[in-house]
Structure 1
Amino acid sequence: MTEENIFTFVPNIIGYARIVLAIISFYFMPTNYVIACTCYVVSALLDAFDGHAARHFDQSTKFGAMLDQLTDRCGTMGLVTVLAHFYPKYSFLFIMSMCIDVACHWIFLHTSVLQGKSSHKFVDMSENPIMNLYYTNKSVLFLMCAGNEAFYASLYLLHFTEGPIVVGLGLFKIILFLSAPICFFKTGISLLHCIVASKNLAIIDVNERKKLSKKAF
């Protein structure tokens, strides 16, 4: 039987395309918001397709889960880095946003892998109603992720233009106001990721120390 090549799985190829689009977006972010936004949005939309592809072709892998998560985090981090340059007065808040997003998701995903899970979304959250709703209700998950991206994207676009005028306000400003509460709530969710992951990691540590103690005796 021929050994499978994980790197050529369909969802992972989609992941590579997302990375290329993100890099193009980063390059044009300071100068051309049309190209930057187009590439960024397409990269974000492909995030939905790689999951469907993984299920359809039965190609869910730990590498794919890591690739997906890292692409998401780096994509947002790249955009927020540019925002810190565009709005230097709020650079501290942008830096904190990046640190919370990357650190909390990293420890949560890493802990999930240590528990033998294939994805950061499969950790049992039944004891936490907020996290349970976040990961079991696709509409809520989509709203949180889309709202978070919309907040940063609207801030980015407002640096160049307010967009079409709707009821006396620029479209991008309206999107900013509507998505701001979602972005702040999702930051809270990220911190909750960190708390849950820390507890799970502590349980793993305790269990491993018990095993070592038994071996010692």
Structure 2
Amino acid sequence: MAKEKEKEKEKEKGLKSWPIYLYVPNLIGYARIMANIVAFGLCFANKNIFTALYFVSFVCDELDGRFARMLNQASTFGAVLDMVTDRVSTAALLVVLSHLYRPCFAFFLGLLALDIASHWLQMYSTFLSSKTSHKDVKDSKSWLVKNYYQHRPFMGYCCIGAEVLYLILYLLAEDEPASVIKVFMAALKRKSPLMFLSLLALPGWAIKQIVNVAQLKTAADICVMYDLRRNEKP
């Protein structure tokens, strides 16, 4: 009888969990994943379709947060889904760029490693601090990280700047692998309108990389302090 009751409780928990999977923000997250799968499947075949789908996915990244707040459907699963989708999307784009700009292969992989490590450690330190969101940095020791997450327009500019710059690099890439500087100089000579956008996006991209480094350090400090407190316990 006891085992049967336990099984019934497990079934009830399973049924109760389904609505969370079907929250509107999470449905948007699934749509983002599908858009990215199609986009990266065509990234070397059709630049226009890739750019359109990637941009749509990026816009949906803003929409899922808005719907979560508007519909009161914020969830831990949704937050993790959002971050994983963000990081995988950016990582995949950086891998594509490392292929298109082979002389800068190490540079793009370095950016990928920094992005993944910084955000993963930030998320892990969030759970160690018993917080529900990796954006809860009100007690952060880094004024840059604190201002980044607490001022949405500033964070938005940095995030958009980074993604736009990567997309511009993707669109400017030539058939034969070349360095970023060479491609930029060629686009400058052609007076490509994309160069104007890239100059607007560049500061945001640069700040985001600095934030990633600062975030990596502050998150690592939290992990170390957690270890020290645990070791002090008898």
Q: Give 1:37's aligned amino acid.
A: T
Report SS of the residue matched to 1:121. coil
Partner residue in 2 for 1:52: 66
8 Å contact kept, 2:141–2:218: no
Partners in 1 of 2:128 and 2:74 — Cα distance? 17
- Structure 1 segments, 4+ long, off by >3 Å, are 165-168
8 Å contact kept, 2:137–2:149: no
Matched, 1:89 2:111: no
Report SS of the residue matched to 1:178. helix
Q: Unmatched 5+ residue regions in structure 1?
A: none
Deviation per CA, 1:149-186: give whole Å up to 9, x if none: 01111000102699xx9996101222223322321221
Describe the shift of the 1:98–1:167 C-alpha distance in structure 2 as closer, same or farther (beyond 3 A). Answer: closer
Partners in 2 of 1:4 and 1:63 — Cα distance? 11
Question: Superposition pairs for residues 125-204 of structure 1, below 5 Å?
Answer: 125=139, 127-159=141-173, 169-204=191-226
* Number of positions where the alignment pairs a residue of Structure 1 with one of Structure 2: 210
> Percent of counterpart pairs with the same letter?
31
TM-score (norm 2): 0.83
Structure 1 window deviating more from structure 2 (95-104 vs 59-68): it is 59-68
Q: Which has the larger radius of gyration?
A: 2
Question: Superposition pairs for residues 42-81 of structure 1, below 5 Å?
Answer: 42-81=56-95
Partner residue in 1 for 2:121: 107
TM-score (norm 1): 0.89
Deviation (angstroms), 1:125:
4.1
Deviation (angstroms), 1:192:
0.6
Partners in 1 of 2:170 and 2:159 — Cα distance? 17
Report SS of the residue matched to 2:16. coil
Q: Unmatched 5+ residue regions in structure 2?
A: 1-11, 176-182
Deviation per CA, 1:57-95: give whole Å up to 9, x if none: 222111111111111111111111111111100001001
Structure 1 window deviating more from structure 2 (168-177 vs 113-122): it is 168-177
Report SS of the residue matched to 1:3. helix
Partners in 2 of 1:126 and 1:207 — Cα distance? 18
